[in-house]
Amino acid sequence: MLNALTIDVEDYFMVSAFADTVKFDDWSKYESRVEASTELLLDRLDTHETKATFFTLGWIAERYPGLVKKIAARGHELASHGYSHRLVYDLTPQVFREDTRKTKRIIEDVIGAEVVGYRAASYSVTKRSLWALDILAEEGFIYDSSIFPIRHDRYGYIEFDRFSKIVELKNSRQILELPLSTVRLFGRNLPVAGGGYLRLLPLKFIKWGLGNINRKEKRSAIIYLHPWEVDPGQPRINGSWLSCFRHNTNLKKTEQKLVELMENFKFAPMKIVYADQIEEVKRGT
């Protein structure tokens, strides 16, 4: 069973949890470590002959086009993570449209290929920001991976389907939604998708969850992580206790956990794992 491996390309100081401490206008003042940490991930993926989807911020693609070209040259899929890592539900529809259009153009100009996938900052397509899916479809995106069907203080749409779903939109448009992976346990959706959950939860639980999705439910899983999660030497941001705990805990363990997952499961980019449904949406547009 093929699973989707996804990398959200952003730097350590760009995360939403630190947005009150690190202003967007000050990003250029911070030490950037995204190139080195992303290249480390590229090397690990090469070693295990694994390809992934890199959801990349437009701000990074604009400043580090060589890194984006390197990702594409090594056989990975490029997709959009928005320009400035702002939460969708904090934006107006017009600002969101401008942000996604700008980022799509930047990445496409760098790699010379079409970008069809999108992921919102902090999975901020929720029940109150579903309007974003219509805009994404209108702007030429074929799939979105911004919904996390769990309960969380910052994101989550618990009522949404747990697996891939073609969503019918306005004006006869469609978009393929690819939710982050969860397992059903004790009547609840529990996250096994990676990121902070990969760092904070026992690897045995993550493996059990992915195995359950593959073998019992016979579905593909979607895993994500960030380059800064394999960079334990990154500078520490002075955020809230909870934000610092979520961000900094077990950074030293992420790389080895990823390696073990690649040794136990098969991974590929979104465009490969969900090729049939992507083509179905393309035929309908």
Pairing between β-strand 188-191 and β-strand 174-177 as defined by DSSP bridges:
unpaired
Which residue ranges make up each domain of the chain?
2-284
Q: State the pLDDT at residue 78.
A: 98
Distance CA 53, CA 206 (A): 20
Nearest to 88 by CA among 43, 121, 46: 121
pLDDT at site 245: 93
Find out whether 63 and 103 touch, Cβ atoms under 8 Å.
no
Question: Tokens 């980022």 belong to which residue?
Answer: 103
- pLDDT of amino acid 224: 97
Closest by Cα among 276, 252, 170, 261 to 224:
261
pTM of the model: 0.97
| pLDDT score recorded for residue 72 | 98
Q: What share of the chain is helix, strand, coil (3-state, %, to 5)?
A: 50, 15, 35
DSSP-based three-state secondary structure for 55? strand
- Residue 153 is predicted with a pLDDT of 80
Tokens of 48: 């295990």
Q: Which residues contact 54 (CB under 8 A, 6 or more apart)?
A: 6, 7, 9, 38, 71, 76, 77, 78, 79
Neighbours of 111 (CB within 10 A): 19
Q: What is the mean pLDDT of each run of 10 residues along the chain (285 residues)?
A: 97 94 96 98 98 98 98 98 97 98 98 98 96 98 97 89 97 96 94 94 97 97 98 94 94 97 98 98 87
CB-based burial label for 244 (10 Å; 0-12, 13-18, 19+): middle
Q: Tell me, what's the pLDDT at 284?
A: 85
Spatial separation of the C-alpha atoms in residues 1 and 99, rounded to whole Å: 35
Question: What dotted CATH number matches 2-284?
Answer: 3.20.20.370
